Amino acid sequence: MGTHLELRGLTKYYAHADGELPVLADIDLDIARGQLVSLVGPSGCGKTTLLRIIAGLESASTGDLRLDGQPLTGCDPRVGLVFQEFALFPWRRLIANIDVGLEIQGVPKARRRAAAREYIRSFGLEGFENKYPKELSGGMKQRVAIARTLIANPRIVLMDEPFGSLDSQSRNNMQNFLLRIWAERRDTILFVTHNVDEAVYLSDRIAVFGPRPSRILQIFDVSLDRPRDRTSPEANRIRREILSLLHQTES
């Protein structure tokens, strides 16, 4: 299948009061189609910045960014982003939040509503179609945010700590939920998390970032069969390695 998303020598500086703040030093990363890749790293190392660059919300200072060999510039329909803060439109009902991407693409209402209903069914949101975001629980909002991104059919889905604000029970549920829909669709997913546990449970590969200005320190392949046992010796071994790597860089 070869490389799907390709980051080469990506750097990012933010203009600051006293000079420039280098955030991303030199990022090289290749992601194959259909892989679920996690990014972990210390707080403030630029994970969100990297996702925002790939999503086209921000531009890289230097470097090269390609999807299926074509350069990525600006917001691109092939790239979808799920925001950590959900970023649902509060004035839209659940169903209209899900199908907004199709509305933007000009899909007629009857068709996009039908598509949204499919998502509502498979995401377990039946009965809430006409609720406003403020009436939904955190886990539901997160599912709506994911559905809103997936329905537009991007080739790669970026997720920024999507489950960070959920309690551990709904977090585990959402992880299994994500694995289930991913198993059906085989999207390429780039997943930012603070939680090494979560990264080991979900990912095919885990890229560990160093402190700012950051580069990728090491990439771990996780070839455990799914469904995974969170406490298997192999999972523990990978987790230990990642944690010690993160620990080293912090001191």
Ligand X SMILES: Nc1ncnc2c1ncn2[C@@H]1O[C@H](COP(=O)(O)OP(=O)(O)OP(=O)(O)O)[C@@H](O)[C@H]1O
Q: Which residues bind ligand X (CB under 6 A)?
A: 14, 21, 23, 43-49, 194, 212
Q: Which of 19, 69, 90, 233 binds other proteins (CB under 8 A)?
A: 90
Q: 160 has which bridge partners? A: 192
Q: Give the count of alpha carbons within 13 A of 1, CB side only.
A: 10
Query: In sequence order, which residues have a C-beta less than 8 Å from that of residue 135 and are 6 or more positions away?
Result: 128
Decide: is 80 part of the binding site for other proteins (CB under 8 A): yes
For residues 191 and 163, the answer to whether their CB atoms sit within 8 Å is: no
Q: Is 134 in the site for other proteins (CB under 8 A)?
A: yes
249 belongs to the binding site for Mg ion (CB under 5 A): no
- With CB cut-offs between 5 and 8 Å by kind, which of ligand X, Mg ion, other proteins, none does residue 200 bind? none
Residue with tokens 């939040």: 97
47 close to 41: Cβ distance less than 8 angstroms: yes
The total number of residues written for the chain in this structure: 251
Selected range binding other proteins among 24-32, 127-135, 218-226, 231-239, rule: CB under 8 A: 127-135
Q: Which does residue 101 touch among Mg ion, ligand X, other proteins, none (CB within 5 to 8 A, set by kind)? A: other proteins
Kindly determine how many residues on this chain lie close enough to bind other proteins according to the rule CB under 8 A.
28
Report the partner that residue 44 touches, choosing among ligand X, other proteins, Mg ion, none (CB closer than 5 to 8 A by kind): ligand X
Residues 11, 48, 172, 195: which binds Mg ion (CB under 5 A)? 48
**Which positions from 168 through 227 interact with other proteins, judged by CB under 8 A?**
none
For the bound state, the minimum distance from the C-beta of residue 96 to Mg ion, rounded and expressed in Å, comes to 28
CA distance 178 to 237: 24
Q: What residues does 64 pair with on adjacent strands? A: 8
User: Between the CA of residue 211 and those of 58, 95, 171, 216, 228, what are the distances in Å?
Assistant: 20, 40, 26, 10, 30
Residues at the interface with Mg ion (CB under 5 A): 48
